[in-house]
Chains A and B, each alone.
Chain A
Amino acid sequence: MAGIYIHIPFCSKACHYCDFHFSTLLKNKIAVVNSIAQELIIQKEYLGLSKVSTIYFGGGTPSLLSTLELEKILKTIRQNFVLEKEVEITLEANPDDLTLEKVQELKATGINRLSIGIQSFHQNHLDFFNRSHTEKQTFLAIENAKSVGINNLSIDLIYGFKDLTEEQLQFNLKQISSYQIPHVSAYALTVEPKTALSSFIKKGKVDPPSEELAKTQFLTIIDYLQKEGLTHYEISNFGKPNFFSKHNTSYWKSEPYLGVGPSAHSFNGKNRQWNIANNVQYLKLIHDEKPMFQKEELTEKDKLNELIMIGLRTIWGIDKKKLSKFSSGLQKQFLNELKKYLSQQKITETETSYVLQKKYWFLADGIASSLFQV
C-alpha cells in the first residue's frame, strides 16, 4: 500500500490563516503541471514495489486545474506506477470551482472523492478568512457533487474563533446531517507565523483565538458528529465507517508515500524528503534535471518519536507490533516514561496498542513530547 500526493501550489485568493505553499500568480500553472508529470517519472522508483492505493491532489487549490491538466497527471501516474484495483482519488476543491459542469468533468477523470474547503456556511466567517467563495456557493458545491453521484465527500470546517457563535456552529454541523456528509475535517483556527492573521493579531486588529473557546467548540463538534455516526478517528478528522480518508490514514499508519510538486513531502519508511517550496525554483530544478528536494535519513529514535506523536492523535494509538521492531533499550525507555500516563489512566493499553484517552487528545502534543526519546 502506498500513496501519491500531488501539491498544486496555486490559489485564486490568499486565506488569512493559511501557511501552506501557494501562489496567486497563475501564469506558471501549465509549466508546473508539466514539471509535476516529469517529477513523477523521475521519482517512479521511490515507492519500490508498493502498489499505489491512494492519490491525493492537495494544495493550494487543485480544483483550479483544468480537466486536461488533471488528466495529464493521472495518466502519468497510471503509466509509471503499479496501481491497486480500487484507488481512492481525492481532490481538494474550493466551493466556487465546483460548478455542475466541473463536477461532471472531475468524475469523468476518475476522481472519486472530493474534499471541499467549506470552512463555514456563514458569509461573515468567509469574509473574515478571506475565502474566495460565498455562503451560497458552499451549498451549491455540495449539491452539485451529490447530483453527479460523488457521495464520498469530505468537508473542512474551522472552529475556535470568536465570531463563530454557538448557533452558527450548530448550523454548520446541521448541514453535515442534512446533506449526509460522510467525512468531516474540523480544524481549530491556528495562528501560523507570517500569515495575515498573525499580523492582524500583532497589530491588535483581531483577538488571538481563545483556547477555552476552542476546547468548548471541539467538544460540541465531537458530541454532535458522534451522534451522527461519524467516528472521531483522528484529532481533526471524523468519518462514517468505510469513509475514513484512506490517503490521510496512510500518513498515520506510517505507510510510504510519494509527494510531487513544490513543497511536497515524501516518505519511504527510511527517509523523508521535501521539495523546494518555490514554484519558479522548482521549475528550474526540474528543467535542469537537478534534485528538487532535501532529504533526511530517519534514525531509530526519529522513527520511534514519529510513531508516538502520530499514534497519540488517532483512535488506533501507538501500535505494539510496530513498537516491537525497535531495540529493546529504546522500548524499555519508552515504556518507562509511559508508566506515569498508564497509572493516571490518560493512556490505556489494549491488546494491540497504547491509546490516548479522548479527553486528553487536546493535550496530545505535550504528552507525545514527554514520551519522546531524545
Chain B
Amino acid sequence: MKNIRNFCIIAHIDHGKSTLADRLLQTTGTITDRQLQEQTLDDMDLERERGITIKSHAIQMVHKHEGETYVLNLIDTPGHVDFSYEVSRSIAACEGALLIVDATQGIQAQTISNLYLALEHDLEIIPILNKMDLASAMPEEVTDQIVDLIGCEPEDVIAASGKSGLGVDNILKAIINRVPAPKGDPEAPLQALIFDSVFNQFRGIVAYFRIMNGSIKKGDQVKFVNTGKEYGADEVGVLGLDYIPQKQVFAGNVGYIISGIKKAKEVKVGDTITNVINPCDKAIQGFENVKPMVFAGIYPVDTDEYEELREAMEKLQLNDASLTFEPESSAALGFGFRCGFLGMLHMEIIQERLEREHNMTVITTVPNVSYIAYTKKEEQIIVNNPSDLPEITKMDRVEEPFIAAQIITKSEFIGAIMTLCIEKRGVLKNQVYLTSDRVELQFEMPLAEIVFDFYDRLKTVSKGYASFDYQPIGYQASNLSKLDILLNGDQVDALSSLIHRDNSYHFGKKICEKLKELIPRQQFDIAIQAAIGAKIIARETVKALRKDVTAKCYGGDISRKRKLLEKQKKGKKRMRQVGNVEVPQSAFMAVLKLND
C-alpha cells in the first residue's frame, strides 16, 4: 500500500488537463505513442468534440522511481458544473490532486469550487502551471493567485506544458513524494467507494471503485450498501488502458468489478461495496441520490417513433443513471417523455446522443426546474411540468430551488455582471478580490434563472472573462406563474412555461416575437398570444400569405419548380397541427433560442 498513489486532476475546461494526462500515460509507458489518440481519456466522440470530459474515468500507471515501483491511479473528473456530485466522489477516492491552471488565463470559478472540495477532503494539492510554452503565459501573476488560494510556497508550483512535455517528470516525482500513500486496514471487512460506472455492451455495467479497507476477490459475494443489492464478483481487476483482471484487489487500490448488472441505475456513484459474509459496520459518508435539476419534454419528430424513442432512452439510461424519464403526452406533440437532467449541458448531451447514437430526431420542449407547490390544504406537489401546477384558486404558494453562485471575473466587468445577476433575481452575498484585478462575486439566485441564456449572456457581458459555478442551497418562496401560448386561440401545451411573474411580460413578448419569425405565413392571419390564466399579455400576428405563386412556369421551369414544391410538402409533413395552424418543429424550441 505504501507504493500506491491515488490522485485526480482539477482543471478548468481548456486548461489542458487531457493533454497533460496523456503525457503522464506516455512517460510511464502506460500507452505507446501509437495508442495515443488525442485526448485518450475522453473516449466518447461527443466528449472529444466538446473538449470536455463528461464522465469520469480512471487509469492505472506503473512507474519506477529511485529503484521502487509505484502504482499511480489517476482518477479523471468531469469538468462541468452539471456533474459536480460525481467530481466530489472522485475526490473522495483520492489522497492528492493535481491543480492544473492555464498560465495564460489564471484560475477560474469551476477550478476554485473543485479545489475547495479537494481541500475539504484533505487532499494534497500539487499546483501546476500549464501551457508554459506559450508566449502569453503569465507565470508570476498566476503563481501569486495560486499561492493566495492554497497557501503553498511559490516554489511548490510546477511549470509544465502538456504540448512540449515540460515538467512531466517533476509532476511524477511530486505525485510520489508529496501525495500520501493511502491509509486503510487490509485485514478489515471490505469497504470500497464506487466513484463511477460505465456501460459495456457485452459485460453490462462495470463499476469503478477505490478500496478504503479490506480487499475484494474474484468470486466474492458482495453487497452495495445503499441499494441493498447483492451480486457475485464475476471479475475484479485494475484499470490499465484496458481492463486487467486480478484474483484480488487490495486496500488503497483502485479497481473495477463486473457482476452481471444490467442497469446503470443499480450502480450509484458514492455507494459502498462490502462483503456479504463479512460486512463493514457502516457505509462511506457522502452518498447522495443524484437528483435531476432541469426537466423538459422530449418528443419524437415523427409521432410514429414513440416506441423507438423509448428504447433509445432506455439504452441511454443504461450508462447514464442520472437521466430520468417518464411518459407524458401533449396535444401538439403527441406521446413523449418528461425527462430529468442534471443541467442544461446534460440535456444537450442527451439530445445529441439520441441523434447520433440512436438516429432519433427529437423535439425538446421548454425546460424548467423542479418547483414545489403547496395547496391550501397544505398538500405538497412537485411540479416538473407546467401542467402539474395546481390551479391558482387551489394553490397556497410555490417554492423554487435556489443556488449559491460564484463568478470569477476581471474587475472591469463587475458592473455588467452585477446588472445581469440582479436582472436574473440574484442577490449579491459577497465580493472578494483574489488579486488586484480578479474578483470573486457570490450571489444567491433562483436556479430557474440560469437555465435560460445565463451562460451565454455572462460570456457576452464579460467578453469571455468570467467563470461560473454553483451549488444548490434549497427552496425559497417564489411568485410563479404559468405562461401559456395560444395560436389563433388554441393553447399550445408544449409551449407553456413556468416563469417568475416579474419576468413574464418581457418573456411573453419575446417568445411571441420569436414565434412570429419561426411560424411560416399561411393562407390566413395567425394570432400568436401569450397569456397568464385568461389574461393576454402579449400578441403578434403572422400575416396571411398574399402571394405564393411564381410568375413563370414554362418548359424549363417545370422540373425545378416541382422539386421545390415537393420539398415544401415534405417540410410541411413534419410540421405539427395546432388547430388550423401548421407549426414547424423549430417553433417548439423557440424559447431556447430567444437571443439568437
Residues of A within 8 A of B (CB): 5, 58, 187-188, 190, 211-212, 214-215, 234-236, 248, 251-252, 257, 259, 263-267, 272, 274, 296, 302, 305-306, 309-310, 313, 361-366, 368-370, 372, 374
Contacts and interface: CB of A to CB of B under 8 A. Distances in A.
A213 to B, nearest CB: 9
B572 A267 contact: no
14 contacts: A5-B555, A187-B552, A236-B551, A251-B558, A267-B555, A272-B559, A302-B562, A313-B553, A362-B548, A365-B561, A366-B523, A369-B566, A369-B568, A370-B569
Main secondary structure of the interface of B (DSSP, over half): loop
Interface string B553-579: 111101101100110111011000000
A149 B569 CA distance: 48
B271 to A, nearest CB: 53
Contacts of B562: 302, 305-306, 309
A64 B51 CA distance: 63
A363 B558 contact: no
B34 interface: no
Contacts of A5: 555
Given A306-B558, A366-B523, A374-B573, A188 B548 contact: no
Contact of B549 (A58, A248, A274, A365): A365
B566 A236 contact: no
Given A265-B559, A369-B569, A363 B545 contact: yes
Question: Nearest 4 A-B pairs (CB), nearest first?
Answer: A211-B546, A369-B565, A187-B551, A265-B556
Given A363-B545, A365-B549, A374 B558 contact: no
A137 to B, nearest CB: 24
A306 B551 CA distance: 16
Contacts of B565: 305, 309, 365, 368-369, 372
B548 A259 contact: no
Nearest to A360: B523
A310 B572 contact: no
B393 interface: no
Given A215-B546, A305-B562, A369-B565, A235 B551 contact: yes
A310 B553 contact: yes
B551 A190 contact: yes
A361 B553 CA distance: 13
A313 B572 contact: no
A364 B555 contact: no
Nearest to B559: A272
Nearest to A346: B523
A251 B550 CA distance: 16
B574 to A, nearest CB: 11
B547 interface: yes
B434 to A, nearest CB: 48
A363 B548 contact: yes
A274 B556 contact: yes
Contacts of A362: 546-549
Contacts of B555: 5, 251, 257, 259, 264-267
Nearest to A264: B556
A251 B554 contact: yes
Interface string B506-531: 00000000000000000100000000
Contacts of A368: 565
For B548, B549, B558, B572, the residue with the greatest tally of chain A CB atoms inside 10 Å of its CB is B549
Nearest to A362: B547
Nearest to A364: B549
Contacts of B552: 187, 190, 236
Interface string B408-431: 000000000000000000000000
A211 B548 CA distance: 9
Contacts of B546: 211-212, 214-215, 362
Contacts of B545: 211, 363, 366
B133 to A, nearest CB: 45
B570 A363 contact: no
A309 B552 CA distance: 12
Interface string B176-198: 00000000000000000000000
For A5, A296, A369, the residue with the greatest tally of chain B CB atoms inside 10 Å of its CB is A369
Contacts of A58: 554
B554 A365 contact: no
A372 B566 contact: yes
Nearest to A263: B556
Contacts of A234: 553
B549 A363 contact: yes
Given A187-B551, A309-B562, A364-B548, 13 more contacts: A5-B555, A58-B554, A190-B550, A215-B547, A235-B549, A251-B553, A252-B553, A259-B556, A264-B556, A306-B562, A361-B549, A363-B548, A366-B568
Nearest to A337: B569
Nearest to A277: B556
A272 B558 contact: yes
A207 B186 CA distance: 83
B199 to A, nearest CB: 39
For B554, B555, B568, B573, the residue with the greatest tally of chain A CB atoms inside 10 Å of its CB is B555
Contacts of A361: 549
A189 to B, nearest CB: 8
Given A265-B559, A267-B558, A370 B572 contact: yes
B561 A309 contact: yes
A212 B544 CA distance: 11
Interface in B332-388: none
A235 B547 CA distance: 12
Nearest to B522: A366
Nearest to A186: B551
A58 B548 CA distance: 26
Contacts of B553: 234-235, 251-252, 309-310, 313
A374 B570 contact: yes
B556 A214 contact: no
B493 to A, nearest CB: 25
B549 A313 contact: yes
A91 B573 CA distance: 43
Contacts of B559: 265, 272, 274, 296
A274 B545 CA distance: 32
Nearest to B554: A251
Contacts of B572: 369-370
Nearest to B523: A363
Contact of B547 (A214, A274, A309): A214
A181 to B, nearest CB: 19
Contacts of A374: 566, 569-570, 573
A275 B566 CA distance: 23
Contacts of A372: 565-566, 569
A356 to B, nearest CB: 10
A258 to B, nearest CB: 10
Interface in B8-34: none
Nearest to A303: B562
Contacts of A313: 549, 553
Contacts of B556: 259, 263-265, 274
Nearest to B568: A369
A211 B547 contact: yes
A223 to B, nearest CB: 17
Contact of B548 (A274, A302, A306, A366): A366
Interface string B76-96: 000000000000000000000
Nearest to A265: B556
A313 B551 CA distance: 10
For B546, B551, B568, B569, the residue with the greatest tally of chain A CB atoms inside 10 Å of its CB is B551
A215 B544 CA distance: 13
Nearest to B565: A369
Contacts of A310: 553, 558
B521 to A, nearest CB: 9
Interface string B200-240: 00000000000000000000000000000000000000000
A215 B570 CA distance: 28
B409 to A, nearest CB: 39
A276 B555 CA distance: 15
Contacts of B570: 374
Contacts of B523: 363, 366
